[in-house]
A and B are shown apart, each in its own frame.
Chain A
């Protein structure tokens, strides 16, 4: 089946630094990718929808200048957490929609665990 990878799988950084997380669709083209955030014992919360070649659409309450999203190709979207702070520590998961499949079909990456010290 379709595979989505994320890199890195986990990262520890100092407060004030920026961290980039990559999301790749390995064997299909994804015109749309989604970025989620998950706190311990909580639901996955959609942060933004990333469309190839256009600006991302952010959910209410998500700072677009804080969480920069770039979707430059049909197989890669990146999330950059700028000037990270301890409260940004979380589990970030991306998903990708196969452009040849129906809108229902989203494939999820394994997630990236971010710890900001």
Chain B
């Protein structure tokens, strides 16, 4: 069975400080992993994805994530938060077979000026 756990429902950081949004997954086989961001009243936007290539994945807007198979983790990081990063972030796993995307419950990121 597949599942995704986002360990923090809410994260608050000061502008200019690092961001860490945690995600753990369970999957029978090597899955594809994604991070999406959702700003208010906007569609989900793909930040980055891991599809069995390099374990350190760089995405848009300075975000990156590292796939750690031994820890079944795919944490999202950014060295320096901007005010515009405030949004809801979803970790998503897609098993090797099938269409379905499995979503985490989301992490709401607040950036304090």
Number of residues in B with C-beta < 8 Å to the partner?
22
The docked-state distance in angstroms from the alpha carbon of A45 to that of B49 is 20
Q: How many angstroms from the CA of A32 to the CA of B101 in the assembled complex?
A: 14
- Any B CB within 8 A of the CB of A67: no
> Contacts of A107 on B, CB cut-off 8 Å?
43
Given A107-B43, A110-B42, answer yes or no on A41-B94 (Cβ-Cβ < 8 Å): no
Residues of B that sit less than 8 Å from A by CB: 4, 9, 32, 36, 41-46, 49, 51, 90, 94, 99-106
CB distance from B33 to the nearest CB of A (A): 11
Of A4, A42, A43, which one neighbours B43 at CB under 8 angstroms? A4
Total contacting residues, chain A, CB less than 8 A: 25
- Is A34 engaged at the interface, CB distance under 8 Å to the other chain? yes
Distance between Cα atoms of A6 and B58 in the complex (Å): 29
Does A72 interact with chain B (Cβ within 8 Å)? no
Known: A4-B43, A107-B43. A44 touches B103 (CB 8 A): yes
**Is B94's CB under 8 angstroms from A104's CB?**
yes
Contact of A49 among B43, B94, B99 (CB under 8 A): B99
